[in-house]
Structure 1
Amino acid sequence: MMLTLSTNNKLGFIDGFIHVPAPNAVEYKFWERCNDLVISWLLLNLEESIVKSVLFMRTAREIWLDLEERFGYASIAQVYSLEQQLAEITQGQDSVSEFFTKIKTLWDGVNDVSHLSHCTCNACTYNLTQRLQQKQQEHGVLQFMMKLSDTFAAVRGNVLMMQHLPNIAQTYRLFAQEERHKELSNITSQTEAMAFVADRRRFPNQSQDQRNYFKSNVSATQNRFNNSGVNAKRGTKPNYFCTHCKISGHSVERCFKIHGYPPGFQARQDKKFAALSQSSQNDF
């Protein structure tokens, strides 16, 4: 209401700055018209039960003083209600901006009904008012961070590690930036997930094809490994041979033709050992 009166240059009608002119004065008609205009604004902003109690007052100044006398004070019940709301308020599902608006509204209400003490001397050397305002700012910062959700625990810890706490506006910007960063991260994650789902819909058998491909590769590798083991058993010829009988598989130090056959030796029935046996009998 004060803003409306101020923007229309009508505050003088309620604060007593504009006095009532004499009825026979030239400006009385102009004052009377402006006074009636201010009264209409006041009545439109009052409840019906209150309007009846000030309806017959003649000046806007009289109405304003009557309303100020009845309602222009802060009761303990109002302070209690505001403090209770501050104690119970939490962020919940609200954004940082929405929650800050709610808690700041309660702070302004408390400050309005219980004014901050201040020093009235002109030569104060203790800066009492400044210190009280700083304490009030620190209390607001701590209260704001306590009411936020646990998703901001990291930022809260960083703020508490500071040597001097930032003011309320700076603290709000820190948490608002962190919230914006989390939103961008979630958008990026959702975009990647949607792209993955789109690929799965476009190639529904891709995973099965990949499994078949890996199975075939594993089978081929196992077959090559098994074949190489069989060939190793059945084997490739050793790279050493006897210089006496020119037969591979043993050295000259272990050649039977030179050192003799062991007792009970039975030669294998193949061409190599048959020729070896025959040559051995001819030599002896």
Structure 2
Amino acid sequence: MVEDLDTLKLHPSDNPGLSLVTTLLDGSNFLSWRRSIKLALTAKMKMSFISKDDEIPERNTKEFEQWIKVDSMVTSWILNSISRDIVESFIYTKTSKELWTELENRYGQSNGPMEYRLKRELASLSQARENTDIKISDQLMQFLMGLNDSYGVKFL
């Protein structure tokens, strides 16, 4: 049963078309997106909808009807905060908690092999840049050594 009845209240400005964050989830920005969503839901006193499993009131009660209404609102807010390219994968979740769990499962896990590959590519880019700098320096030296003596430094 819902412990805090304030979580079942909606502000008159709350509407299903609202996007809680400025940057939409695109799959690569999950950690920062998740933090922004959690902050927004906390400010709206709706974090319990995605964080607790046992918060659904008994069916066929006024409290349950209100819970469905607010949970649908939270689900809409989260869906509106996801890029159109990937939102279709999540449109049929039944509750905001189920939607959140799906997002966590898909994007919240660390991808070790991808992280390794990206760090290796970054390292090779840094090495390539160092090699390029050395090559440019060598080419400059070869150019200077090939200049005519008339361009050389004259000593007294």
Q: Which has the higher helix share?
A: 1
